[in-house]
Structure 1
Amino acid sequence: MMESTISIPLVLSVYIFTFLTGLPSNLLAFYTFLVKVRQKPTPVDILLLNLTVSDLLLLIFLPFKMVEAASAMVWLLPPFLCPLTSFIYYSSIYISSLFLMAVSVERYLGVAFPIKYKLWRRPAYAVAASLVFWVVSSCHCSIVYIIQIFDHIPNGTTPSNKSHCYETFSTPQLQILMPFRLELFLVLFCIPFTITVFCYINFVRILVALPNIPARKKQRAVGLAVATLSNFIICFAPYNLSHVVGFIQNESPHWRVYALLLTTLNASLDPAIFYFSSTAVQRAFASCLTGLRHRLSSLMSQCHVPSLTCCREDGKEAEGANAHEPEESTT
């Protein structure tokens, strides 16, 4: 059985960690980018705003995956939530890949062709690209609904995936799903990853070679490149490689569930990209951490005050008792 081969505590731990770390950081980034876009929209802010929306959609539906994991990977929620949750879950993977690619292209063009790019730089282009990315990813990931049409087995037996959500597939489903997954690997992973690697290698190379660029800005550029490429390699590469292995073996590899689990961490790693991409996000994170530090210090001081008061009262009582002791002894 599938549930016996999956470490339920590990799955729940990753889901909970992603939810607790990703939700507040993405909400803060979303608010920061929304304010910037409303005041003075720039292409990179529009792209990053869409990336936060994708992460927040994943985080909103993540509790449903937690319930599934807590139920030993058996889907006990209403049936309509299964394809909807899977659609959001898989869409966020490829939406993030496309927007990370777009941010890398924007950064590279800004340093490689600063004058020409400044003349052609328009927020409307970023809006148009965002719409295309959402449509392309949504159309591809609608396979979770299309595959239900082929949810039957030629022998007339009952499919084995009724109690699970998008895990076990019949032979007709695999004949459709495996080539489609290979297309996802080639089109929505290999192309964005190749473009991102090319753009960030040249982005860092050009920026580091410029003599008048402050060292802080160069460090931010390196941090942005490392965070983005780490996101691709850690979160997206294993899952997409499982498509290739599944196509060759004509079945989903047993480790695919763990590769899919890594994609969830994308919602926790994206805020690092936001941090290196925008000084506004850096200021927002810094002010938030400062506020938390002040609140913690004030709470600690309030906790110390009653304890000190109790100590003082106890000390006074002890002094009073000591003062009465001689009188009692003399009588």
Structure 2
Amino acid sequence: EFRNSLILTAYIIIFLTGLPANLLALRAFVGRVRQPHPAPVHILLLSLTLADLLLLLLLPFKIIEAAQGLQWHLPVVLCALTGFGFYSSIYCSTWLLAGISIERYLGVAFPVQYKLSRRPLYGVIAALVAWIMSFGHGTIVIVVQYLNSTPQATNESMFVCYENFSKEQQDVVLPVRLELCLVLFFVPMVVTIFCYWRFVWLMLTQPHVGTQRRRRAVGLAVVTLLNFLVCFGPYNVSHLVGFHTGKSPAWRMEAVVFSSLNASLDPLLFYFSSSAVRRTFSKGLQVLRDQGSSLLGCRCRQTDEGRRQGRGGSEA
């Protein structure tokens, strides 16, 4: 029960923090992409925001699952569809992050050539490749879920979603998970680390780069590295352990929670990446401050009026 409570609390916090931040980012990127000749990086950032929103929109199903003791009491078909969209959005984020790192590196290492050859179409193609690769691999969730279904899968009252596989299901899912780890996690992580290492090095060594830009470059690299190591790392390590031991590790549920944390960390990446997002976030914070000030002002006025009425009553 303590484990279920922790997972439930984590999902709720991720949902409450990630959804408003990604909606603000979506508003900023849509406005930026609508402008003439948008940069490819803004198209990639918009795609990353959509992937995060897809995960967050499916997160209530995971919240219900955690609230019911990690058992799936909803229709079985929702398990397959939720897993398909949930895990596909996670792996879509890895290659989108890699694409953003490549764009940042090229813009600093080869500024003139990059500006001359930069086309919005390149961003669209890169985003489509990331979506096709992730959702193409995500179909394994649906295939395995209905491949020689176990008795647990037919008994909806005791159904554990995408767990407790039969021997036939494990023979399919474990090698595919290993391939997912290598192609959709390890390769984009190596690409991202190399590009941001060069990107930060160039930003720190160029004398004409301001201090503020250097700080944003370091912050961008740190947040992206945290995404790979903290969010995606445990989940993909569970694939390696599962392939080695022949079964899913007992801590895989917790690893999935860490993968969901990506939706709350990405807004920090958006903040360091785009001035449009920084302006949108600043406006949102200003609106919250104004509303808070107005609420406090109303309460203070009500308190003052109450004190005056109390004084009048005591004098009478």
- Range into which the TM-score falls when normalised by the shorter chain: over 0.9
Mapped pair 1:122 → 2:122: no
TM-score, length-scaled by structure 1: 0.92
Q: CA deviation at 1:316?
A: 2.1
State the distance in 1 between where 2:221 and 2:55 align.
24
Which residue of 298, 306, 309 corresponds with 1:310?
A: 306
Runs of at least 4 residues of structure 1 off by over 6 A?
none
3-state SS of 1:142 partner? helix
Q: CA deviation at 1:152?
A: 4.4
Specify the alignment match of 1:95 in structure 2. Answer: 92
Which runs of 5 or more structure 1 residues have no equivalent in the other structure? 321-331
Specify the alignment match of 2:3 in structure 1. Answer: 7
State the distance in 2 between where 1:161 and 1:234 align.
35
The residue type paired with residue 307 of structure 1 is: T
Alignment of 1:1-331 (within 5 A): 7-40=3-36, 41-152=38-149, 158-159=151-152, 162=155, 163-320=159-316
State the distance in 2 between where 1:51 and 1:60 align.
14
Q: CA contact under 8 A between 2:152 and 2:160: conserved in structure 1?
A: no
Q: CA contact under 8 A between 1:161 and 1:169: conserved in structure 2?
A: no
Q: CA contact under 8 A between 2:148 and 2:168: conserved in structure 1?
A: yes
Q: CA contact under 8 A between 1:159 and 1:170: conserved in structure 2?
A: no
Specify the alignment match of 1:328 in structure 2. Answer: none
The residue type paired with residue 77 of structure 1 is: L
3-state SS of 2:76 partner? coil
TM-score, length-scaled by structure 2: 0.96
Q: CA deviation at 1:257?
A: 1.2
State the distance in 2 between where 1:79 and 1:173 align.
17
State the distance in 2 between where 1:299 and 1:159 align.
52
The residue type paired with residue 105 of structure 1 is: I
The residue type paired with residue 210 of structure 2 is: P
Q: How many residues get paired? A: 312
The residue type paired with residue 65 of structure 1 is: K
State the distance in 1 between where 2:149 and 2:277 align.
50
Which runs of 5 or more structure 2 residues have no equivalent in the other structure? none
Specify the alignment match of 1:329 in structure 2. Answer: none
State the distance in 1 between where 2:219 and 2:42 align.
18
Q: CA contact under 8 A between 2:26 and 2:46: conserved in structure 1?
A: yes
The residue type paired with residue 230 of structure 1 is: L
State the distance in 1 between where 2:293 and 2:92 align.
40
Q: CA contact under 8 A between 2:17 and 2:264: conserved in structure 1?
A: yes
Larger Rg: 1
Q: CA contact under 8 A between 1:160 and 1:169: conserved in structure 2?
A: no
State the distance in 2 between where 1:62 and 1:191 align.
27
State the distance in 1 between where 2:217 and 2:286 align.
25
Q: CA deviation at 1:148?
A: 3.3
Q: CA contact under 8 A between 2:80 and 2:145: conserved in structure 1?
A: no
Q: CA contact under 8 A between 1:161 and 1:168: conserved in structure 2?
A: no
Specify the alignment match of 1:327 in structure 2. Answer: none
Percent sequence identity over aligned pairs: 49
Q: CA RMSD in A?
A: 1.3
3-state SS of 1:150 partner? coil
Q: CA deviation at 1:128?
A: 0.9
Q: CA deviation at 1:150?
A: 2.6
Q: CA contact under 8 A between 1:185 and 1:243: conserved in structure 2?
A: yes
Q: CA deviation at 1:151?
A: 2.3
| Residues 214-256 of structure 1: per-residue CA shift (max 9 Å, x gap) | 1001100000000010011100011101111110100001111
